Amino acid sequence: MEVVETSAQLAAKIKDFKASGKTIGFVPTMGALHQGHLSLVKEAGRLCDVVVVSVFVNPTQFNNPDDLDRYPRDIEKDMALLRQTACELLFVPSVNEVYPEPDTRVFDFGSIDKVMEGQFRPGHFIGVAQVVSRLFDIVRPHKAFFGAKDFQQIAVVREMVRQLNMSVQVVDCPIIREEDGLAMSSRNLLLNDEQRKKAPLIARSLFDSCNFALANGVKETRQMVMDAINASNQLEVEYFEIVDGNTLQPVMLWDDSDYIVGCIAVYAGEIRLIDNVVYKNSMS
Ligand code: AMP
């Protein structure tokens, strides 16, 4: 694995790989890597000849400066983990490298980014679109891999690729969980013991709600999840929405769509965790 810090170096290496007919798979991350990230690297290795991973904590997608300050960073450990994978090129750019000039682009993703994460983290998805489009411009991958844990992010990236007419194929990969069900996340490292003990209640409530949903309506199911999680003194639901998996708009009835997903954001103290569960997907 080669570690590259500049866009020019990375672009030159990728050009050489492409000249020899190789396909490029790209996994953008913010580091503090865990098995969730590594599952994307594995899938990229399965589907592409060369895997490029980036580790870059993107300041423009943090709407809360404290969240950016305390975001976990451990590049040495990240490199050690990636050396055991299919990753061939690791891109670790500085902020100036990604943004030689401040990125003032504004995106409009219609109704997709006005709800849930878009509503509670104003500007977040503009930052995501800025960094992902910039990284796609540098790497020019054939395929890019994203985790379903950030369900809405995938929809936003797909819409961005469509709007900017990019040729990259966006591949989504399943949520990887701890043994107790908690969705793996770099932010889990920030939980104290008490919060960490309670955090699996998020996933457990989502899973339980799939059974509950068989005999109950959307409204009741939504309430059941919020009540179950809020009953813990360590956790507080910020939002839980049951939405159409394509449009991300709330559904009223289970018959409203063939693809229905429940998306949640929960605070454990200052730490914000997200997760989701698929109630219905006629495509799978
Ligand atoms: P992040 O470093 O949090 O920006 O995440 C980088 C990529 O890894 C994103 O596409 C995430 O959706 C994905 N990811 C993070 N956690 C998980 C997980 N538990 N399972 C699968 N993918 C994940």
Q: Are 144 and 136 in contact (CB under 8 A)?
A: yes
> Phi, psi (5° rounding) for residue 112?
-60, -40
Report pLDDT for 194.
Answer: 98
Cβ 186 under 6 angstroms from ligand 1:
yes
**Distance of alpha carbon 202 from its chain centroid, rounded?**
17
Query: Ligand 1 mean position to 172 CA, how many Å?
Result: 10
| DSSP H/E element including 161 | helix 151-163
124 classed as catalytic: no
- Give residue 254's Cα distance to chain centre: 26
Q: Which of 149, 158, 277 to mutate to test the pocket of ligand 1 (most atoms within 8 A of CB)?
A: 149
Amino acid at site 54: S
Smallest CA separation from ligand 1 atom 8, residue: 37
* Ligand 1 binding pocket includes 93 (Cβ within 6 Å): no
pLDDT of residue 283: 74
Domains of the chain by range and CATH?
Answer: 2-173 (3.40.50.620), 186-276 (3.30.1300.10)
pLDDT value, residue 175: 98
Per-residue exposure over 210-236, b if at least 16 CB sit within 10 Å of its own CB, e if not: eeebeeeebeebbebbbebbeebebbe
Burial of 283 (0-12, 13-18, 19+ CB in 10 A): exposed
Q: What are phi and psi of 258, to 5 degrees?
A: -85, -10
Q: Helix 218-230 vs helix 200-215: angle between axes, to the nearest 10 degrees?
A: 150
Indicate the pTM of the whole model.
0.97
Cα separation of 249 and 156, whole Å? 13
Q: In a structure prediction context, what are the per-residue pLDDT tens digits for the chain, which is 284 residues long?
A: 999 999 999 999 999 999 999 999 999 999 999 999 999 999 999 999 999 999 999 999 999 999 999 999 999 999 999 999 999 999 999 999 999 999 999 999 999 999 999 999 999 999 999 999 999 999 999 999 999 999 999 999 999 999 999 999 999 999 999 999 999 999 999 999 999 999 999 999 999 999 999 999 999 999 999 999 999 999 999 999 999 999 999 999 999 999 999 999 999 999 999 999 999 998 77
